[in-house]
């Protein structure tokens, strides 16, 4: 029965792509993304804990000492999840929250997923002890209300622009292409935020991802029209820049 259903599905897909040539390319990219995710997940599982620890330290050290990071006041970061084998952000989060306590105008936001349709909000937090709670995937996310019961400020409603976004991801190429985990959360958020920034006449935030060495691919990662390129990629050897904005803000600092 299962086989019949699968055959049926394959036939529907084949017919859809025959009738719609544009659908072919979309489906090919979707399959390429799926295949690359499988390869990179496997490589990350085989990446030794020692190598991981070493790269975690080097990547965070690089960011913490960079001027483009130190000069940013309004920042979105991700709360790293060990079971997803993500580059650790605990030192960065601690630094950001400590600086936020003593710097007027500094704001730190982290993601909270809203539903399974790629909606995610970036909410303001002040600490990692009381403000975060594990979601169904065991990722720590902000609670909806702060400690006194007020709704948290969110990036899409803020009156000032973001300077910097630190992004997770599964695979990256050497030209700014980024492959996420397949939820489309960051792509949709970035699309909406970049539209808002344009509308308000704000300059775009710097989009910087963090990556272990097996996640950097020599071949281009598969992308489609909804994927947003990153400006720069921090790895254990330093930073790779991909855009003129990154060259201006990073290379010169
Ligand atoms: N730390 C962190 N926070 C984040 C993200 C992230 O990638 N990292 N997100 C970025 O979008 C959003 C959460 N989205 C996610 C979407 C899919 C998977 C995922 O596929 N996880 C497993 C497999 C599936 C599962 O357990 O259900 C995996 O990748 O192995 C994880 C997070 C918002 N917060
Ligand atoms: N801007 C968008 N608007 C609507 N849907 C989107 C948008 N971006 C991505 N999606 C949807 O999300 C799903 C996953 O997309 P994709 O595989 O590119 O995600 P990803 O890059 O791995 O995830 P993420 O952006 O969270 O890192 C796709 O079905 C896609 O259509």
pLDDT at 19 over 80: no
Q: What is the band of 17 on the pLDDT scale with cuts at 50, 70, 90? A: very low
- Tens digit of each residue's pLDDT (9 = 90 or more) over 185-215: 999 999 999 999 999 999 999 999 999 999 9
Q: What is the band of 251 on the pLDDT scale with cuts at 50, 70, 90? A: confident
- Tens digit of each residue's pLDDT (9 = 90 or more) over 26-53: 999 999 999 999 999 999 999 999 999 9
User: By percentage, how much of the chain surpasses pLDDT 90?
Assistant: 89
- Tens digit of each residue's pLDDT (9 = 90 or more) over 132-158: 999 999 999 999 999 999 999 999 999
Ligand 2: centre distance to CA 229 (Å): 13
Contacts of 203 (CB under 8 A, 6+ apart): 161, 197
Pick the ligand that lies closest to the CA of residue 87.
Answer: 1
- Tens digit of each residue's pLDDT (9 = 90 or more) over 51-62: 999 999 999 999
CA distance to 64, 79, 80, 98, 223, per residue, from 110 (Å): 18, 7, 10, 15, 25
Q: Is 158 in the pocket of ligand 1 (CB under 6 A)?
A: no
The residue whose CA has the least distance to atom 12 of ligand 2 is 184
Q: What is the band of 16 on the pLDDT scale with cuts at 50, 70, 90? A: very low
The residue whose CA has the least distance to atom 25 of ligand 1 is 137
Pick the ligand that lies closest to the CA of residue 222.
Answer: 2
**pLDDT of res. 11:** 44
Pick the ligand that lies closest to the CA of residue 109.
Answer: 1
Ligand 2: centre distance to CA 176 (Å): 16
Q: Is 167 in the pocket of ligand 1 (CB under 6 A)?
A: no
Contacts of 101 (CB under 8 A, 6+ apart): 126
Q: What is the band of 82 on the pLDDT scale with cuts at 50, 70, 90? A: very high
Ligand 1: centre distance to CA 18 (Å): 33
**What value of ipTM does the predicted structure carry?**
0.94
Q: What is the band of 4 on the pLDDT scale with cuts at 50, 70, 90? A: very low
pLDDT at 78 over 80: yes
Ligand 2: centre distance to CA 180 (Å): 8
Ligand 1: centre distance to CA 183 (Å): 7
Q: Is 120 in the pocket of ligand 1 (CB under 6 A)?
A: yes
Give the 3-state DSSP-derived string for 171-218, with helices as H, strands as E and coil as C.
EECCCCCEECCCCCHHHHHHHHHHHHHHHHCCCCCEEEEECCHHHECC
* CATH number at 48-251: 3.40.50.10420
Q: Around Cβ 117, how many Cβ atoms within 10 Å?
A: 10
Ligand 1: centre distance to CA 170 (Å): 10
Phi, psi of 134 (to 5 degrees): -75, 135
**pLDDT of res. 9:** 44
């Amino acid at each position: 029965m299962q086989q019949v259903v699968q055959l049926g599905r394959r036939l529907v897909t084949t017919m859809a792509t025959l009738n719609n040539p544009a659908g072919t390319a979309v489906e090919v990219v979707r399959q390429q993304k799926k295949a690359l995710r499988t390869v990179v997940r496997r490589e990350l599982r085989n990446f030794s804990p020692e190598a991981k620890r070493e790269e975690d330290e080097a990547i965070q050290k690089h960011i913490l000492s960079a001027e483009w990071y130190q000069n940013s006041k309004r920042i979105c970061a991700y709360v790293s999840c060990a079971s997803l084998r993500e580059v650790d952000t605990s030192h960065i989060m601690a630094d950001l929250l400590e600086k936020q306590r003593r710097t007027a105008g500094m704001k730190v936001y982290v993601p909270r997923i809203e539903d399974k349709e790629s909606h995610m909000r970036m909410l303001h937090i002040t600490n990692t002890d009381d403000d975060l709670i594990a979601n169904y995937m065991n990722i720590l996310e902000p609670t909806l209300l702060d400690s006194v019961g007020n709704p948290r400020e969110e990036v899409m409603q803020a009156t000032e622009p973001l300077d910097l976004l630190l992004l997770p991801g599964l695979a990256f190429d050497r030209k700014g292409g980024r492959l996420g985990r397949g939820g489309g959360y960051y792509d949709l958020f970035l699309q909406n935020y970049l539209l808002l920034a344009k509308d308000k006449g704000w300059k775009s935030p710097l989009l910087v991802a963090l990556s272990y060495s097996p996640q950097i691919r020599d071949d281009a990662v598969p992308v489609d029209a909804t994927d947003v390129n990153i400006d720069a990629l921090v790895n254990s050897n330093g930073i790779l820049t991909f855009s003129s904005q990154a060259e201006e803000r990073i290379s010169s600092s």
